[in-house]
Every structure is written in structure tokens, then in C-alpha cells.
Chains A and B, each alone.
Chain A
């Protein structure tokens, strides 16, 4: 049942619990129990909203930072990654394979704010060897959701 719950709420976290229970063919209490258990176990880590800030008056700048670091004995990359996640400016931190080690996404109000964060906070961390800042110019798709207008239903009103 867990997998089915997650499939439904991954795309629509605002779905009514009662609707979800009906759709899964189980009672509401057991859906609630499973959800709470998954929250406890940090399988469900949060419920967020996908916002296209470009359409609002709010100025936001986000960047994708490629970070190369020296792994530390006994802790690998975890130690430095755990330091980076603490900054509220940081949106996500991924350990990745390939040409660099950590991919960090950052959100700030201005280009300057983001640049300063990288040069003052990130680049100066002890084990960080280098950083490369890529500013995000436009988000076409975010969290599996295409940001452009959703298409109209173009089907005939009735077909047999």
C-alpha cells in the first residue's frame, strides 16, 4: 500500500485523505497510519509547493554550483555535505558521480547575494577544492512538473 500512496501523493500532496482512501480501496485510518509512519521514518520528508517565481513580482536567483571536494578519511563526503546543508540559502545538495563531487543548488535574492555566498561561505570550506557557479536562467520543468501552461482537453465532448 505504501508504494501506491506515495505514487498518488508524489504528484498531488494536497489530495484529501478520504479521497485517497477511496481511491486505494482501504479505510481512511489505515492511510493515515501509513502516512504518519512514513513521516516518522522520513520516507515522506515534507510537502512542498512548486512555484514559478518568475510569474510573481518577487526577485529570485537560483544557481547550480559544481563543487569539488577532498573526501575526508573515515567520513568520505558526508562531513562537508552535512556542513553545506545547514545554510538556509542551500536548496539541495547531491553527491554525484562524474567531473565533480557535490552539486549544490542555491537560491538568493540577487546575483550578488548568490555569488557572495559561494565565494565567502562555500569556497572557503576547508575541504572544498573548487566551485563553479551556473546561474539558472529559466526553469522548464521542476520536480517532474512542466512549468508552462497545461494543455487544454482537446478531446470531443462525447465519443462512443
Chain B
């Protein structure tokens, strides 16, 4: 029999830390700080709207790009929150989570061999999606020295003749790093100079703790034309399982993205779309409540990690902190594995998000305070034990 498989896909690693995951799955009674999704339930009024749409029998396909009403609300929301303007007719596509939007954007923009700059540590899908789209991923290792922000110098140094796209994953999973206006402005210059396009993954845009609003890259002068903005409902509204996100950008790019979406997906789930309309219309208050709660836990976790002697920079976004564990003498993988074995606490090795995550682990604070307290006490005991 011939090899049934495609050579490109078989070369892609399922995940760099499979071994670790295998152990995690076996440990049924572990306390986890390893989850990349909110602990809150989707606010009831949003769930209620989903249920209502089912009761009404609204179970048909929507138009490919999404419900008209939802696209209108997305456009209003982005304008209200981040001062970016998109025409709901032609410049918004509703997707199956932010993940699909990443894939669409890469596939619509890349020709074979085009290089995509991927700052790392970052979410795990940019790299394989680039490869699947025929592009060449070029990781930019970010530095703890800069609190894992991307600098103009790093960006310039990574550019070649073939560089076409820059992925901007901020607020960042796993580091919790944010890019503030000045940081982004510095990048915008390089983007202009090198004639790059940007996929700005702003899925955590509602979760920043700088006291200021998140700055959307497309809102900077001259950047709208060059940017696909990706966002969604998973993190801000605690709607991960609803699988709903969106991409916004110039019509010329969105039209091609829509083709892929139309043939591969048809449309995003209808129930989720109806629920999302309600989320955007009435959700601002709930988002703020969750943000305040996360912020309190964030301070608590940072404090506890620093108290136990782990150097931890002040992560100002998402719901992760990214402590430096090099002082323990262990690698990320060793730290996570031993912590799991001896204290039954699951954290994610930084290396799961790229080689530059070595020496760090991702700790999620999407857990109740009681849970965090117990887990952090166990981590303290573990770190203490390593010193002796």
C-alpha cells in the first residue's frame, strides 16, 4: 500500500511537550494551573439568548460571512472600544474561533516560501498554520529583558527579502505581555519600511491591566490597510466552547479569506452567533467584572511567586504569569514534570510555546482564589525543597 499521508502534515509535531501532557492526563487528582480558558461560566444572559435562538428554531446556516446583525455589532464594538472602523458588509468575517481566522489570514496572504515572523513564546497555532499555508515560519525569540515585548530592533533584524507577514500576538499567551501604544508605534515604522502585513491576534484585548485600554494595531496611522485584526468571544465573554471569533481588515484581503471560509466551513455556528449579538450589546459590564476579578488574582499570584523567590515580571495582560524558574536549576520541562509528580500541580512548560520559553513556565490564574492559594502553597513547598 502507498503511504496515504501528506509529507507536510506528517512533519508537523503534534506538540513539543507530548510527554508532559501524557503524564498530566494520567494524574486525575492534580490541581491545575494549566488551563488556557476562563473559569467563569458564560454569563447567563448570553447563554439564555443561545437557548432562545434554539427554541425559535434558528438552526439554519447564516450567510457565509456571518449574521448581518452580528457583523454590525462587531463593527460598533470595535469602534467603541478600540477606535477602529470596519464596514460590517465587507470588512468583517465571523469565524469558528480566533483560530480559524488565523488560518484564513495566513492562507489568503501567503505564497509558497513567503516568510512569516512569529514572536515567541506565543500561541501554538501560528507556526503550523504558516507551514500548512505554504509559508516559512520565522520565529523571533522574545526576551525576558524586555518583558517579552517585541522591539523594533528585533523586528528589523528578523526581516529578509521574503518576509511578508508579521504575527502580533498581544496581549500574549503564554507570557501575559502587552504592547502599549509607544511599543506599537515603534513597530509600525518598521512595518511600513519593510512593506509588511500584520496579523494582529487581539483575542485577549479585553484583558489588560495597565489601567488603559488595549491599543489595536490597526488604529495606528497607516496600519489599518496592512492589518488583519483577529478577535473573538472566547476570552472576554468566557465563551470558549461556543467557537466564535472574527477577522476584520481591508476588503481585498477579506474577500479572499471569505472564499476559504465559504468552502471549508460554510459559516460559524448559528446558535453561537445569536448569543454573541447579545454579548456585544449588553456584555460590557460583565467583561469589566471578570477583568477586575482576574486583576485581583493576577496581583495575588505575582506576589506569591515573588515571595517564593521566583523572578516574575509584571504581566499586564491575558490571564497568565510567566515566572522565570532558572534559579531552580531545572529546565521548564523538568520543573513542570517534577512539580506535577511531587506536588500534583500542573503548570505548562514555557517551551510548549517556542524554544525561547525555556527557563519559564506558564501559570494561569483562571482559577478561584481558593484554588490558587492551595496550588501556590504547593509550588512554594516544591521550590523550597529544591533549594535544600
Same complex? yes
Residues of A at the B interface (CB closer than 8 Å) are 4, 7-8, 12, 15, 19, 22-25, 151, 153, 155-160
CB neighbours (8 Å) of A12 from chain B are 369
Quick one: which of B24, B37, B296, B303 has the most chain A CB within 10 A? B296
Q: How far is the CB of B39 from chain A (nearest CB, A)?
A: 7
Residue of B25, B303, B353 near A22 (CB, 8 A) is B303
Which interface class (under 10, 10 to 19, 20 to 34, 35 or more) fits B? 20 to 34
- Interface contacts beyond A8-B296, A159-B36: sample of 13 additional A-B pairs, CB < 8 Å, sorted by A: A7-B289, A19-B373, A22-B299, A22-B300, A23-B296, A23-B300, A23-B369, A24-B299, A155-B32, A155-B39, A158-B35, A159-B34, A160-B15
> Is the contact region of chain A dominated by helix, strand, or loop, or is it mixed?
loop
A18 CB, nearest partner CB in chain B, Å: 10
**Interface residues, chain B, with chain A CB atoms under 8 Å away:** 15, 21, 24-25, 27, 30, 32, 34-37, 39, 41, 123-124, 173-174, 289, 292, 295-297, 299-300, 303, 346, 348, 352-353, 369, 373
Question: Considering the chains assembled together, what is the distance between the CA atoms of A9 and B123 in angstroms?
Answer: 35
Can you list 6 contacts pairing A with B, beta carbon distance less than 8 Å? A7-B289, A19-B300, A23-B296, A23-B299, A23-B369, A159-B36
Identity of the chain B residue whose Cβ is nearest the Cβ of A20 in the assembled complex: B296
Q: Are B123 and A160 in contact (CB under 8 A)?
A: yes
Q: When the two chains form their complex, are residues B303 and A158 in contact, meaning their CB atoms are under 8 A apart?
A: no
Cβ-defined contact, B27 with A157, below 8 A:
yes
Cβ contacts under 8 Å, B39 to chain A: 153, 155
| A158 and B32 contact, CB distance less than 8 A | yes
Assess the A157–B369 pair: CB atoms within 8 A: no
Residues of A within 8 A of B21 (CB): 158
Alpha-carbon gap, A19 to B299, bound state (A):
10
B32 proximity list for chain A (CB < 8 A):
155, 157-158
Q: Select one of A7, A22, A24, A159 contacting B35, CB under 8 A.
A: A159
CB distance from B348 to the nearest CB of A (A): 6
Q: Which listed residue (A15, A25, A151, A153) contacts B299, Cβ 8 A?
A: A25
Give bound CA distance, A25 to B211, whole Å.
Answer: 13
Chain A neighbourhood of B346, CB < 8 A: 157-158
CB distance from A151 to the nearest CB of B (A): 8
Which residues of B lie under 8 Å from residue A155 when comparing CB positions? 32, 35, 37, 39
With A22-B303, A23-B300 known to touch, is A157 a contact of B25 (CB < 8 Å)? yes
A4 to B21, CA, bound (A): 38
The reply to whether A159 and B296 form a contact with Cβ atoms under 8 Å apart is no
Distance in angstroms from B124 CB to nearest chain A CB is 5
Question: CB-CB < 8 A to A8: which residues of B?
Answer: 296
